[in-house]
A = this chain, B = another copy of it.
Amino acid sequence: MPPLPVTVDSVILTVLEGTLQVLLVRRMDSPFVGLWALPGGFVRPEEPLENAAIRELRESTGVDEVYLEQLYTFGQPQRDTRGRVVSVAYVALLAADRCPIKPQRLEAEVRWWPVYELPELAFDHGAMVEMSLQRVRTKLEYTTIGFQLMPEAFTMAQLQSVYEVILDRSLDKRNFQRKLSLLGLVEPTGDVRKEGRGRPAQVFRFRDVDFVHLRERGIHVPF
């Protein structure tokens, strides 16, 4: 049976400027020249799939050591107009403060796009982004992946805002905090943070909590 070209494509998400954003690169080659696409590329002969995703991630963002999860494999014969290519899609979550790519000008070749205002995407990359959003929203409810998007130290308001941005709805402050302290996932560092006006906020960090425990404890995190 003839072998098939295999690529990886990564949906790299971050929360920046109060919205969920995805990293896109502008295509320089045919097909879809000039359109925006997910960063990705061919898998090398002796390279594990995940390593390929990590490599592409490093090439496009300069970062590794991020949360990375396989999303789905897209294999429709017509998804690439040049010929059949099978693509294994990954989702990566990146804390904004660890990311060297700044919110950029519209002319740039690599930039963050708010997921609710995406341009037309090449290939089936729109479907990949859609699926990644569903996955992240769902996992936000029974895992701690949300933490991947936070800096080491943060305030409750920041954390809640990340949840709200991803879930695309507002949450009740008191219920949010109650739940979180009930879970014992965070602890105060002792510091407070003054950000312009308003009462200073306590600063928290994450405690090392086993990722899996949440589901085992039957805990649901949409507040």
Q: Is A135 an interface residue when CB atoms closer than 8 A count as contact?
A: no
A194 to nearest B CB, angstroms? 38
- Interface size class for chain A? 20 to 34
Report copies per complex.
Answer: 2
Q: Please determine whether A84 and B46 come into contact, CB atoms closer than 8 angstroms.
A: yes
- Residues of B contacting A5 in the complex (Cβ-Cβ under 8 angstroms): 1, 3-4
Q: Please determine whether B70 and A1 come into contact, CB atoms closer than 8 angstroms.
A: no
- Residues of B contacting A76 in the complex (Cβ-Cβ under 8 angstroms): 48
- Residues of B contacting A2 in the complex (Cβ-Cβ under 8 angstroms): 3, 45
- Residues of B contacting A72 in the complex (Cβ-Cβ under 8 angstroms): 70
Option from B1, B45, B47, B222 in Cβ contact (under 8 Å) with A42: B1
Q: Is A193 an interface residue when CB atoms closer than 8 A count as contact?
A: no
* CB neighbors of B among A184-223 (8 A): 215, 218, 220, 222
A209 to nearest B CB, angstroms? 20
Complex formed: what's the CA distance from A1 to B73 in Å? 19
- Residues of B contacting A48 in the complex (Cβ-Cβ under 8 angstroms): 75-77
Q: Is A57 an interface residue when CB atoms closer than 8 A count as contact?
A: no
Complex formed: what's the CA distance from A49 to B42 in Å? 18
* CB neighbors of B among A78-92 (8 A): 84, 86, 88
Complex formed: what's the CA distance from A138 to B222 in Å? 18
Complex formed: what's the CA distance from A221 to B88 in Å? 31
Q: Is A43 an interface residue when CB atoms closer than 8 A count as contact?
A: yes
Q: Please determine whether B42 and A86 come into contact, CB atoms closer than 8 angstroms.
A: no
A78 to nearest B CB, angstroms? 9
User: Interface of A with B (CB < 8 Å)?
Assistant: 1-6, 42-49, 70, 72-73, 75-77, 84, 86, 88, 138, 215, 218, 220, 222
